[in-house]
Amino acid sequence: MNEEKRDQWEVDRRFVNIEWNIMLGNGAFGKVYQGNIPAAKLPSKLIESVFQVSELKKNGENVAVKMLHESADRSTVLSFLDEIELMKELGYHERLVNLLACVTQSEPRMLIVELCSKGDLLQYMTHRRDYMTRLGEGESPDYSLVITHKQQFIFAVQIASGLEYISHRGFIHRDIAARNILVQGNDSLKIGDFGMCRKVQEEQGMYLSRGGRFPIKWMAPEAIKDYEASSASDVWSYGVLLFEIVTLGGSPYAGWNIAEIPLRLERGERMERPDECTDEMHEIMESCWMFNPRDRPDFTELRMQVGRALEKMDDDNYYLQLDGRKEYYLVDNEKKERNDETTC
């Protein structure tokens, strides 16, 4: 790694206070805790960024700190360091969970990023869906717990904006899903979890993966079959994310056997239009799921299309009438966790 480049982001661990009782996430390779770092102690690279220092101060100087499990092997450590380096190269955007600092010169190594206080979008939507399905007819709703069609389009345009930036920087995310979108205190969204993000070859615009565990329900057919990932395969995943947004966290491909997904997609089958999905949103989702990657829109086109649809929406008081008996709401959570990934 480039030592000089790394030092620009390095911070003395003495200034990183970990709230060990506030765990934000726990995965196969590491854990994420809430922490605190004084803005004055940010690395020199960050002090130049008015936007990020301002964001940190708005969060009361609280941050999210990702660390590996103590049992992490050398391969996992190297992947973690690669993720840190990638986030440095990716740069700042308001729709990304941005790097603030890192600790790489001593153990435990730390990836320090912006804190999004309301957690991930999947849990955020599921909580509100549970409330909305219980809402009785004629009952006055608590609008802080209701997601409207207009809010869904706001979510969609914010995510498209972040993905447009990622693609223009020459990267692909490869794990676009509601669980990896984080919610700020003002209910706006940021794209997170860059562990699978990769730089693509300029001449091909494509990254060939080498196998491993992948979120198959969010993957494009060419990524499943040939391990070919590109900005166009991210577009397919974005379409699946739109399905999650429309259903407020419903399970994609409910009722489909995961082993059958590639063949059924190749035959032209797609998920049925969910309840309460507007014509505009359904049209956008279907365009993301064109079988030929070249036929899919890019993220600039998607951002503009979602934006135009959003401009036409003026009734923000209309709330969704959800049918909690739909199959995509009845998938057992534990079973869903096991079935959403497969080894390729």
What domains are defined for the chain?
3-114 (3.30.200.20), 121-343 (1.10.510.10)
Going along 76-145, which residue ranges are E strands?
Answer: 99-103, 110-114
**Dihedrals phi, psi of 36, to nearest 5 degrees:** -145, 135
Mean pLDDT calculated for residue range 168-195: 94
Q: What is the mean pLDDT of the chain?
A: 86
- Of the pLDDT bands very low, low, confident and very high (cuts 50, 70, 90), residue 200 is confident
Q: Could you give the CA distance from residue 46 to residue 43 in angstroms, rounded to a whole number?
A: 6
Cβ proximity of 172 and 198 under 8 Å: yes
Least confident stretch, 37-46, 216-225, 239-248:
37-46
Kindly report the pTM of this predicted structure: 0.89
pLDDT: which is higher, 87 or 323: 87
Q: Is the pLDDT of residue 151 over 80?
A: yes
Asked if residue 210 has pLDDT above 80, the reply is no
Q: How many residues does the chain have?
A: 344
| Res 54 pLDDT > 90 | no
The phi, psi pair for 233, rounded to 5°, reads -75, -30
**Is 317 assigned a ligand-binding role in the annotation?**
no
- Of 8, 6, 101, 120, which is closest to residue 53 (Cα–Cα)? 101
DSSP state of 36: E
How many Å separate Cα 28 from the centre of its chain? 17
Cβ atoms of residues 124 and 118 within 8 Å: yes
> Which amino acids are annotated catalytic?
175
How far apart are alpha carbons 313 and 148 in whole angstroms? 11
Give φ, ψ of 19 to 5 degrees.
Answer: -90, 90
Q: Is 119 annotated as a binding residue?
A: yes
Residues 69 and 140: their CA atoms lie apart, in Å, by 46
Q: Is 66 marked as a binding-site residue?
A: yes
**Burial class for 53, CB neighbours closer than 10 Å (0-12, 13-18, 19+):** middle
Is 91 a known ligand-binding residue?
A: no
Q: For residue 102, what are its two tokens?
A: 């890192």
Copy the structure tokens of residue 240.
């699946």
Q: How far is CA 76 from the centre of its chain?
A: 21
Ligand-binding annotation for 36, yes or no, is: no
Antiparallel, parallel or unpaired: β 181-183 and 171-172: unpaired
Evaluate if residue 121 carries a pLDDT over 50. yes
* Burial of residue 282, with CB atoms counted within 10 A of its CB: 0-12 exposed, 13-18 middle, 19 or more buried: middle
Q: Looking at residue 334, what is its pLDDT?
A: 40
The pLDDT confidence band at residue 340, using thresholds 50, 70 and 90, is: low
pLDDT band with cut points at 50, 70 and 90 for residue 335 = very low
170 in a labelled binding site: no
Could you tell me the CA-to-CA distances from 219 to 23, 83, 92, 227, 281 in Å, in that order? 29, 21, 26, 10, 20
